[in-house]
Chain A
Amino acid sequence: DVKVTQSSRYLVKRTGEKVFLECVQDMDHENMFWYRQDPGLGLRLIYFSYDVKMKEKGDIPEGYSVSREKKERFSLILESASTNQTSMYLCASSLILDSPLHFGNGTRLTVT
């Protein structure tokens, strides 16, 4: 079974802090994604990556950056956390573009 692991289930950070969310997949998947999920807004794509060191902006990249130095790891970085970035963050991966998407369990981030 595919395993997508997000390093933290719950995270509380202060406004202005630099925040790192880590995601690791164990199935040699090419594609990795970061979404955020908010009530009433559904899932919104922040960034995705289709290869090591390659990245593409999603719908809401402002205030975020990503890093993919190794194939199995995709990091989401909040450069200076703000309260409107309080959300559930979901990482996902897929082997190739037409294969199923597999999600991690999510990180619930609270910025105070």
Chain B
Amino acid sequence: KQEVTQIPAALSVPEGENLVLNCSFTDSAIYNLQWFRQDPGKGLTSLLLIQSSQREQTSGRLNASLDKSSGRSTLYIAASQPGDSATYLCAVRNRGSTLGRLYFGRGTQLTVWP
């Protein structure tokens, strides 16, 4: 069964810092990996989707990389802002018979202080 781990569980940084969030998964036979953001009491917002054949995806100040063979993905946030404060989750979709489902990490709770 796929296990997804996110380190650190919580991160607090001053505004303006560049930061890296980590995601690791145990089964490298994945279809894709997706990063989400969740604000308190709200649903998840999709940030970036990386297909298994891709190495990275970029959207604005966000860059996500994928190293499938080592079972790792990183989300890089450039020039962090207080509005980036949220919980960030990664999720992987496996190949195989359970093609529809995603496996989620527990998330990294990010606080950016002014």
Residues of chain A touching chain B, judged by Cβ–Cβ distance below 8 Å, are 4, 6, 31, 33, 42-43, 45, 48, 50, 56, 58, 90, 92, 97-106, 108
Contacts and interface: CB of A to CB of B under 8 A. Distances in A.
B44 A90 contact: yes
Interface residues of B, number: 23
B65 interface: no
Interface string B21-51: 0000000000110101000011111100101
Interface of B: 31-32, 34, 36, 41-46, 49, 51, 89, 91, 93, 99-102, 104-107
A106 B41 contact: yes
A6 B91 CA distance: 22
Contact of B46 (A31, A45, A102): A102
Given A43-B104, A101-B34, A106 B49 contact: no
A50 B100 CA distance: 8
